[in-house]
Structure 1
Amino acid sequence: MSYFEELHPEMDRYLEDTASAEPEILKRLRKETFQKTTQPHMISGYLQGRFLSLISKMISPKNILEIGTFTGYAALCLAEGLQKDGKLTTLDVNEDLAYLPQKYFAQSEWAPQIDFKLQDAKEFLKNSNETFDLIFIDADKENYPEYLQLVKPRMKSGSVLMIDNVLWYGKVLDEKGNKQTEQIKLVNKLVAEDADFENVILPLRDGIHLVRKI
């Protein structure tokens, strides 16, 4: 949930009304996510989805990595910018929900290009030599700093990294928070202090850290 959703819902509706239309496949996926999952708020959602799509289209990536698939909404948004011979690898460990992204990936025009793996992201990254043009992290917050450490060598100059939920419902302003909050604060600090990165946090929904490797 964004600050606008909670504090100024009229502004949130205005933002949605002025954004590009949500593709039909994503409307269906969003509806089914709310019908069949216990934590539907974890979905990227309409506005954030259009942002992810635009970033991907601007970059025109050949190789995308997503850490944290959930029901596949963000992956399909990112796939909109893939090159025709490109590939999107998306990782998750939730076997119970795997049927949903599998269903919608198969229905999409990017079905041959999406590689959905039920695999621990740390294991994948430690055993992969691939480099990625675009990376999106939206997974277990306690491991955000380690994910950053592992994806950095998989980025080349000009690669873009996006990290979700980096404002954590405003809890990043708390002097002392729980483990999730402290790890999010740490990953923001690590990015900001890394001379190899240029970055900005966007207050879109729950905060997206937009990072480019120099």
Structure 2
Amino acid sequence: MPKLTLVPDEIEEYARAHTAAPAPLFEELKDITHARTSSPGMQVGPVEGAFLRMLVSLTSARRVLEIGTFTGYSALMMAEGLSDDGELITCDINPETAEIARAFFARSPHGRKIQLRLGPALETLKTLRGPFDLVFIDADKGGYSAYWDAVVPLVRPGGLLVADNVLWSGRVLSPESAQDHAVVDFNAKVVADARVEPVLLTVRDGMMLARKR
């Protein structure tokens, strides 16, 4: 598993210690994810999760769309930032990890805000209507550009798009594999898109934020 943060472990731990701690349920979800999945590093950490929750809260989002549920950590974090009448639709293709996510959604008071749609995300997106206030993309890297094309029209003007892993453990500087090049191409696509105002942050493995004009 590649290192998912570009800062020293001691600095990452310092940041975590100075970030609002997640509810105990999230620690249990982390443990279950490590015990029952082959790629637990796909789960967002507590700092990135808290940042996503804050973005939802700061934008006063009422409708959030997530592509890539995994075991549900990020969805639950963002649901905490939603108002009581808010809605979060999360898409995934893996029934095993979706089962873990659903079990934890059911145990959270914020889980009722979440709808999990199982199936290829591009097919699910065809059935959805905007506007969404915030979209979080954190799925297969080769699909990022296609997801972008599908979701930008669904976001309201002034809304926010967020994509995870856009520094790809630093491999964006010397791409070799198809996934490396897919991330590089995606970042170039976002920067060239006149519909948005982007900023790339060095949070964990890189987060691309883009405000729709």
> What range describes the TM-score normalised by the shorter chain of this pair?
over 0.9
Q: Give the alignment of 1:146-161 within 5 angstroms.
A: 146-161=146-161
Aligned to 1:41: 41
Contact 1:59 1:81 (C-alpha < 8 Å) held by counterparts: no
Preserved CA contact (<8 Å) 1:48 1:204: yes
Question: Where does 1:66-145 land on structure 2 (aligned, <5 Å)?
Answer: 66-145=66-145
Offset of residue 181 of structure 1 = 1.2
Q: Which letter maps to 2:190?
A: V
Distance 1:101 1:200 in 2: 30
CA distance in 2, matches of 1:64, 1:36: 27
Alignment-derived partner of residue 188 in structure 2:
189
| Letter aligned with residue 93 of structure 1 | I
2 CA distance for matches of 1:95 and 1:17?
33
Q: Which amino acid aligns with 1:85?
A: D
TM-score w.r.t. the length of structure 1 is 0.95
Asked whether 1:171 is paired with 2:162, we answer no
Number of paired residues? 210
1:200 corresponds to which letter in structure 2? V
TM-score by length of 2: 0.95
Residues 91-138 of structure 1, C-alpha deviation per residue, up to 9 Å, x if partnerless? 101012222101000011122211011121100112322321010000
Task: Report percent identity of matched pairs.
Answer: 39
Deviations 1:26-64 (A, max 9, x none): 111111111111111110011111111111111121110
Post-superposition shift, 1:12?
A: 1.4
Alpha-carbon displacement from aligned partner over 1:146-190 (angstroms, at most 9, x marks no partner): 00000011011111010000000111111x421111111111111
Structure 1 residues without counterparts, runs of 5 or longer: none
**Are the equivalent residues in 1 in contact too, given 2:79–2:111 (CA < 8 A)?**
no
Is residue 63–residue 88 contact of structure 1 (8 Å, CA) maintained in 2? yes
